[in-house]
Chains A and B, each alone.
Chain A
Amino acid sequence: DAGITQSPRHKVTETGTPVTLRCHQTENHRYMYWYRQDPGHGLRLIHYSYGVKDTDKGEVSDGYSVSRSKTEDFLLTLESATSSQTSVYFCAIRDRVAGELFFGEGSRLTVL
């Protein structure tokens, strides 16, 4: 299995609170991604990174920010969580363009 871990795996929080999800890899891969998965929407890209301090927005980036200060960690932050951000969040990594994308096991976030 690819060395990718997400934390926390489950979180329940209240509207308006900040939340940070962490993705950690031990593969030294260049590319890292955050997706959210919702019924009927498939996987939607939130943000991605193509190197340390190099990040870009995906299709559903509003309300989210990311940081990548070192190769192994990619943090996703919800500055002020809303109920619409209740979802399952997946981190993924790959080593090169068109390379295989390896997924973490997901983080289930519930915003009450």
Chain B
Amino acid sequence: AQSVTQLGSHVSVSEGALVLLRCNYSSSVPPYLFWYVQYPNQGLQLLLKYTSAATLVKGINGFEAEFKKSETSFHLTKPSAHMSDAAEYFCAVSDLRQGGSEKLVFGKGTKLTVNP
């Protein structure tokens, strides 16, 4: 079964600093990978996804992630943090099953704090 590990349940950066949120996955086959963001008291929304095309994926709000098969990683980055980036971020991997079923397994999340 697929699984996802997010290193660091809390990350704190200063406004304007680099944001790096780490995600490692376990998969025996090439996976589909996703990053979602959740703002307080809201549902999750998609930031970006990797589906075996380009290894560097650009998403919304200036975020990007790089798929590295050799490291089984899909880390999320943003060159310059903004106060509005404060939220919880979730990495997810797609687990394909026979018969057409498919489920999405999420990591435990990383809460990003941006300090002025």
B108 touches A50 (CB 8 A): no
**Is B90 close to A, CB under 8 A?**
yes
Chain B residues lying within 8 Å of A92, measured Cβ to Cβ, are: 44, 104
Select from chain B the residue with minimum beta-carbon distance to A97: B102
**Is A62 close to B, CB under 8 A?**
no
In the bound complex, CA of A44 to CA of B104 (Å): 10
B103 touches A56 (CB 8 A): yes
Of A11-19, A35-43, A79-87, the one touching chain B: A35-43
**Contact count band on B:** 20 to 34
Take A101-B34, A105-B42 as given contacts and tell me if A43 and B106 are in contact as well, using a CB distance cutoff of 8 Å.
yes
Take A97-B94, A98-B51, A98-B94 as given contacts and tell me if A45 and B105 are in contact as well, using a CB distance cutoff of 8 Å.
yes
Contact residues of A: prevailing secondary structure: strand
Select from chain A the residue with minimum beta-carbon distance to B94: A98
Chain B residues lying within 8 Å of A51, measured Cβ to Cβ, are: 100
**Is A33 close to B, CB under 8 A?**
yes
B44 touches A90 (CB 8 A): yes
Which chain A residues in 52-96 approach chain B with CB under 8 Å? Answer: 54, 56, 58-59, 90, 92
